[in-house]
Chains A and B, each alone.
Chain A
Amino acid sequence: MRALTWHGRHDVRVDTVPDPEIVNPRDAIIKVTSTAICGSDLHLYDAYIPTLRAGDVLGHEFMGEVVEVGSKSTLKKGQRVVVPFTISCGNCFFCEKQQYSACDNSNPAETSDASETLMGHPMGAAFGYAHLTGGYAGGQAEYVRVPYSDVGPLVIPDGLEDDQVLFLSDILPTGYQGAFNADIEPGDTVAVWGCGPVGLFAIQSAFLLGAHRVIAIDHYPSRLQLAKSKGADILDYREVDVLEALKEMTGGIGPDAVIDCVGMESHGLAIDNLVDTVKAHTFLGTERPHALRQMIIACRKGGRVSIPGVYGGFVDKFPLGALMEKGLQVKSGQTHMQKWMKPLLEHIQKGELDTTWFISHREPLEKAAEMYRHWHDEQNTYTKIVLKPEMAKPRETPAATARVNEPA
Chain B
Amino acid sequence: MAKNIQDNEERDQAVVKNNRREVERASEQGPAEIHDGELEERARQALNSDSEPRAGRRSARRAQPQARARKQRSDGGSGRALIGIGLGLATAGAAAFFFAKSREDDIGDGPLLSDAPDHVLRGKALQKARNTEAGTALVGRTVTINKPKQELYQVWRDFTRFPEFMDNVREITKVDEQRSEWTIEAPMGATVKVKTRIVEDVPGTTIAWVSEEDSQIETAGRVEFADAPPGRGTYVRLVMRYTPPAGTLGRMVAKVMQREPQVQARRDLNRFKSLMETGEVAVNASPSGRKSERPTQARV
Task: Report yes or no: A26 in contact with B289, Cβ–Cβ below 8 A.
Answer: no
Contact yes or no, B277 A105, CB < 8 A: yes
- Is B157 among interface residues, defined by CB-CB distance under 8 A? no
**Complex contacts, B274 vs chain A, CB 8 Å:** 89, 105, 109
B107 at the A interface (CB under 8 A) = no
* Bound Cα distance from A101 to B10, whole angstroms: 97
Whether B289 and A135, one on each chain, are in contact in the complex, defined by CB atoms closer than 8 angstroms, is no
Given contacts A135-B299, A145-B295, contact A108 B278 (CB under 8 A): no
B289 near A145: Cβ-Cβ < 8 Å = no
Given A18-B295, A104-B273, A106-B282, A3-B287 contact (CB < 8 Å): yes
The residues of A that contact B278 with a CB separation of less than 8 Å are: 26, 89-92, 105, 148
Given contacts A57-B287, A92-B277, A93-B232, contact A18 B294 (CB under 8 A): yes
Interface residues on B, range: 20 to 34
CB contact list, A113-139 vs B, under 8 A: 113, 125, 131, 134-137
Q: Flag if A56 contacts B280 (CB, 8 Å).
A: no
Q: Which chain B residues in 280-300 approach chain A with CB under 8 Å?
A: 280-290, 293-296, 298-300
Chain B residues with CB under 8 Å of A34's CB are none
Among B60-68, B168-176, B240-248, B263-271, the stretch that binds chain A is B263-271
Nearest Cβ distance between residue B52 and chain A, in whole angstroms?
A: 55
Q: Tell me which of B279, B280, B290 has the highest count of chain A C-beta atoms within 10 A of its own C-beta.
A: B280
Query: Would you call A391 an interface residue if the criterion is a C-beta within 8 Å of the partner chain's C-beta atoms?
Result: no
Closest A residue to B293 by CB, please name it. A55
Q: Kindly provide the distance from the CB of B3 to the nearest chain A CB, expressed in whole angstroms.
A: 65
A347 within 8 A of B: no
A19 to B286, CA, bound (A): 8
A20 at the interface (CB under 8 A from B): yes
Closest A residue by C-beta to B233? A93
B residues in contact with A23, CB < 8 Å: 283, 285, 296
Query: A19, B298: Cβ atoms under 8 Å?
Result: no
Across-interface contacts of B288 in A (CB, < 8 A): 5, 17, 53, 55-57, 137
Whole-angstrom distance from the CB of B268 to the nearest CB of chain A?
8
Q: How far is the CA of A107 from the CA of B283 in the complex (A)?
A: 8
Indicate if the CB atoms of B287 and A141 lie closer than 8 Å: yes
- Chain A residues touching B, majority SS: loop
Closest chain-A Cβ to B251's Cβ sits at a distance in Å of 25
A89 to B275, CA, bound (A): 11
Known: A21-B295, A145-B295. A108 touches B282 (CB 8 A): yes
Closest to B268 in A: A109
Given A24-B283, A26-B278, A72-B279: A109 and B290 within 8 A (CB)? Answer: no
B189-233 toward A: CB 8 Å interface, digit per residue (1/0)? 000000000000000000000000000000000000000000011
Known contacts A91-B278, A148-B278; is-contact A17 B289 (Cβ 8 Å)? yes
Residue among A72, A110, A125 making CB contact with B298, cutoff 8 Å: A110
Complex alpha-carbon distance, A210 and B25, angstroms: 104
Complex Cα spacing A96 to B266, Å: 23
A112 contacts chain B at the CB level, 8 A cutoff? yes
Q: Known contacts A24-B283, A26-B280, A106-B282: does B289 contact A113 (CB below 8 Å)?
A: no
Q: Does B160 contact A (CB under 8 A)?
A: no
User: B286–A145 contact, CB under 8 A?
Assistant: yes
- Closest Cβ–Cβ distance, residue B277 to chain A (whole Å): 4
Indicate if B180 sits at the interface (CB-CB under 8 A).
no
Closest 8 CB pairs of A and B: A55-B289, A137-B286, A5-B289, A109-B267, A55-B290, A109-B270, A24-B280, A91-B277
Cross-chain pairs A/B with CB under 8 angstroms, 14 sampled: A17-B288, A21-B295, A55-B288, A57-B286, A91-B146, A105-B277, A108-B284, A109-B271, A109-B281, A110-B298, A113-B266, A113-B267, A137-B286, A148-B278
**Assuming A7-B289, A54-B289, A55-B289, what are 19 further A-B pairs, CB within 8 angstroms?**
A3-B289, A17-B287, A18-B295, A20-B286, A23-B283, A56-B289, A57-B288, A57-B289, A89-B282, A93-B232, A105-B278, A105-B282, A108-B281, A108-B282, A109-B266, A109-B270, A110-B298, A113-B266, A135-B300
